Structure 1
């Protein structure tokens, strides 16, 4: 079974905010999205890039996944972002507003020119109607692509839709992004929740994202971390049932049977695979964020 990496919570942090970058080393986020794009004013782009590169070199982020959202290659800053970050120690580069495989290919070429290590992954943001319709080709564009990120705020704007509590306006798009990610064996992250004062709404959006199948949620404030971490991790009852499913199926196989019943429900090999992933995710979550930083610090 592949290694399961928790991505319950992916927190955006402005690359121009030194205090936020320092605080990130203590936050219970699975992934940190150090942002050089939307959160940084044009006049601050170069300074923010240098600050993020310095923060990565300093290290101290533990097991948190370090992802840098760069500016698009069509902007004045995109090429310099990729050149500076190719060997800066990030775990992944997040490409904004990806609409076609050619954009992924261009980013891969730029990283290769910068001698990026083979393990440097790409996260692709799907946040426009064209991007949603091209999600499958984006997901399969390069072995470096590891995750699709739904950008629901830009998508709602481009659709001319309205944000609603049930998110009917983006459910089709979310499903297409998720289908593309899973078809290519990639992770998938749900979009942000914008109302920082609506705790119940955040809880509901996290549950919905988890029910749809997403691995986690992108977040805009540290106060949202607890809800996402809880929603996208197995609770005690799920974990206990997963272990019983694994044990019961093993007993059935030992008796020469291919199926068994747990809590009145049929259990086959596919249910065992899901149960094993649940256990692996719980174990990875339990390992926490405080492990050694492979980049030093």
Structure 2
């Protein structure tokens, strides 16, 4: 299980030095410097150069990733070649991922570089084939749902009720968990830390997601609080595992705790809580 902490992942345009530096100085668990949607075609090369300089400056001290341009763009190979030269880059984020072959090619272009891969699934094809995509390479660390592009291609208005995304969220969650990959919610399409934002993120937290992308620093604190196990949940997880260890020492495969029957399924849940509370 990938236990890297991605409760709040802040996205900032690599082409805007002020916003990028503000993001890199924030408390976000990870910062993604964007080379794709936030950068005009004429500025792609300069944004790539700026991102490389920021990774060199900040990457040794905090997780910094880069969202590259899509597989079918003219910048894809150059973006990944640049990422391969960054010793402290956490990950290259591939947008609009649609096939295992795209990830295989991204893996090849990164070569022996330490950078990992993450993907945005934001097209119907990507959702349809998500199980195969998640298994394409051991380099894959996280899957993120991109709601804006997905809504546009599905013909859904924005915003829509949170429940409308439930089947897609579950499909991505199951595929990611089966592959041992983190699953991260896409950004809420507002910059406010309001009830709508907190409700949407609590929803996906309860579904089993590990964290969320955010597009404004104001949302970081709430996202981190929502996706961090409470002290009570951590203590309960420890008690569950202790009770199961005691039962195993007696030769029993199950245990009782506070009127609950405990077995390995609850042990898996308890270990996940502790991994989220104390990531490696």
Q: TM exceeds 0.5?
A: yes
SS in 1 for 2:164: coil
Larger RCO of the pair (alpha carbons < 8 Å, separation 6+):
1
Q: Aligned residue for 1:185?
A: 180
> For the residues of structure 2 that align with 1:18 and 1:61, how far apart are their CA atoms?
19
Q: Do the aligned partners of 1:25 and 1:61 also contact (CA within 8 Å) in 2?
A: no
The RMSD of aligned alpha carbons is 1.8
SS in 1 for 2:203: helix
> For the residues of structure 1 that align with 2:20 and 2:191, how far apart are their CA atoms?
20
TM-score, normalized by length of structure 1? Answer: 0.88
Q: Aligned residue for 2:5?
A: 6
TM-score, normalized by length of structure 2? Answer: 0.93
> For the residues of structure 1 that align with 2:191 and 2:57, how far apart are their CA atoms?
31
Q: Do the aligned partners of 1:31 and 1:66 also contact (CA within 8 Å) in 2?
A: yes
Q: Aligned residue for 1:35?
A: 34
SS in 1 for 2:229: coil
Structure 1: unaligned runs, 5 residues or longer? 288-297
Deviation for aligned residue 1:60: 5.9
1:164-203 alignment runs, 5 A limit: 164=159, 166-197=161-192, 199-203=194-198
Q: Aligned residue for 2:66?
A: 68
Structure 2: unaligned runs, 5 residues or longer? none
Q: Do the aligned partners of 1:156 and 1:170 also contact (CA within 8 Å) in 2?
A: no
Deviation for aligned residue 1:132: 0.2
**Larger mean Cα displacement after TM superposition, 101-110 or 223-232:** 101-110
Q: Provide Cα deviations, 1:185-243, integer angstroms capped at 9, x if missing partner.
A: 11111111012236101111111111111111111111111111011110111111111
Q: Do the aligned partners of 2:145 and 2:184 also contact (CA within 8 Å) in 1?
A: yes
SS in 2 for 1:67: strand
- 1:226–1:61 distance in 2 versus 1, CA, 3 Å: farther
Q: Aligned residue for 1:24?
A: 23
Matched, 1:86 2:84: yes
SS in 2 for 1:130: helix
> For the residues of structure 2 that align with 1:128 and 1:157, how far apart are their CA atoms?
9
Q: Do the aligned partners of 1:206 and 1:227 also contact (CA within 8 Å) in 2?
A: no
Q: Aligned residue for 1:144?
A: 139
Q: Do the aligned partners of 1:99 and 1:128 also contact (CA within 8 Å) in 2?
A: yes
SS in 1 for 2:278: helix
> For the residues of structure 2 that align with 1:228 and 1:61, how far apart are their CA atoms?
24
> For the residues of structure 1 that align with 2:257 and 2:153, how far apart are their CA atoms?
46
Q: Do the aligned partners of 1:260 and 1:267 also contact (CA within 8 Å) in 2?
A: yes
Aligned length: 279
Matched, 1:225 2:223: no
Q: Do the aligned partners of 2:2 and 2:181 also contact (CA within 8 Å) in 1?
A: no
SS in 2 for 1:53: helix
Deviation for aligned residue 1:111: 2.1
